[in-house]
Structure 1
């Protein structure tokens, strides 16, 4: 086996398919079961997840039954984005030390609150919009204007086209910002929050607004999404009954993985990009 991070690297983390073999110590998964998973994340980040493949070895604890009523393509699009949105907004689902900050990440109540989701049309964002709405929040979605009808259909109460209007200039007194884009510019959302509010950047690298956050009386918190078959099992019924929908931007055969990455690089993705195996 190649060392982690050594070439050739097989990328990818999310899968859905049919079990072809199980270990001797696996009791609750059988050959022929339809399952999905986020594979070895974050420990496999350097190339040990290896999901861009026809056959993938997965720890049994990270596997969940594929939700009935949706196909393998949608099920493959769910794990990373769904677990990220859920672990940020509802329940981290683990007690591992937080590698991104000294304290554990703590979600905040959503019912009756106003939640702004930045990057709302993307993989994490479009599921975060649905989860926040399901939990009783008023949801403001930030995305480019072409996604307005899409986001309204997912339940957003208001949509801001960031290409026409800067959200930080027009939004005030929200309870929570989930910034699915993150990065150095995430601090601009501090001014949209009411005192006691919270900013959750999914990608916090480059954030430098700690002093401003303290002055404004708002919390900034992030977490590292982790594989969890238990949480995927818990959330399966929400995908089965249509409460949550995984929307597909596009699909590509596995052999055209390069084209899928080129599509992602062009941006303005609506939902998920999925690779298929014939």
Structure 2
């Protein structure tokens, strides 16, 4: 089979389409013929070595986390799926990668594809859907009437998180460029700040939660818009000691991450705000619930561009420019 493989860290020419052995499912795995794979910013960060201390990849490694396709084989202990089922999943930090003609998926990470979505649409969902779900429902506990700030509303995370927050009954503020104002409003954003014209921290007040998605000083600035006893959930770091312990890291790494996050935690406490770093985890049960929202039309996929598998490297380069409206997807078939 063909797969997009990372051979060595650090250089773009170390990512290439290669012939690789077709995976063999273990007892709790399903083997999926991949029809489409959704890309995420982390797919560009991993080859640069940015996650070497956190992700234990054995090189060469197939890239990609999100997929949609058809089950072709199941392991001996699998009970929820059978050959012929159309599924979608995130296999981030699990087994293998999604940018391949076939991929192994643990049964616990997969869910049936919503019937109203095609494979490209379904492949765009898993990581942004699970990240939004785990941030807004598990961490922020958003309730009707809460106010949440989701910056970069036209990006992959933003386009999904805005819709989920609105479904949960929250009031949503976001930032975007002039050309994307209509898009984010169509997704449900109540207050839209054109970052080329205004600073969000000068406009927003008394928010209950912030989803940290933008690098630089935006995270610290967002503390000013939060009310006491609110929460900021960061997807871009810095990782904290709680995260390191949850990953089973050694004392040195726990201490290092504690140091890295000390400044933002101290600032957060000054404002009476709780800070946490979120590293998304695959969860087929949550993905099935997300699938029901998609099936009912409460949330719709937003696709920026679709690339053929032969242009997977070009797709990653396009995503790396940071201007995608919604998700970038690679179609295998």
TM range (shorter): 0.7 to 0.9
Give the drift of 1:255: 1.1
Separation (CA, whole Å) in 2 of partners of 1:263 and 1:90: 31
Structure 1 gaps, min length 5: 92-105
Is it true that 1:235 corresponds to 2:290 in the alignment?
yes
Separation (CA, whole Å) in 2 of partners of 1:169 and 1:89: 24
Structure 2 gaps, min length 5: 1-20, 22-55, 239-259
Is it true that 1:194 corresponds to 2:227 in the alignment?
yes
Aligned residue in 1 for 2:134:
87
Give the drift of 1:266: 1.5
Separation (CA, whole Å) in 2 of partners of 1:124 and 1:178: 10
Matched length:
257
Aligned residue in 1 for 2:301:
246
Aligned residue in 2 for 1:38:
90
Separation (CA, whole Å) in 2 of partners of 1:162 and 1:113: 23
Aligned residue in 1 for 2:96:
49
Classify 1:148/1:200 alpha carbon distance in 2 versus 1 (closer, same or farther; 3 Å): same
**Contact 2:303–2:329 at 8 Å: present in 1 too?**
yes
Is it true that 1:28 corresponds to 2:80 in the alignment?
yes
Give the drift of 1:270: 0.9
Separation (CA, whole Å) in 1 of partners of 2:319 and 2:89: 21
Separation (CA, whole Å) in 2 of partners of 1:109 and 1:18: 34
Separation (CA, whole Å) in 2 of partners of 1:183 and 1:223: 17
**Contact 1:160–1:167 at 8 Å: present in 2 too?**
yes
Aligned residue in 1 for 2:161:
128
Specify which of 236, 255, 258 is matched with residue 313 of structure 2. 258
**Contact 1:248–1:272 at 8 Å: present in 2 too?**
yes
Aligned residue in 2 for 1:217:
272
Is it true that 1:67 corresponds to 2:114 in the alignment?
yes
Deviates more, 1:216-225 or 1:254-263: 216-225
TM-score by length of 2: 0.73
RMSD: 1.7
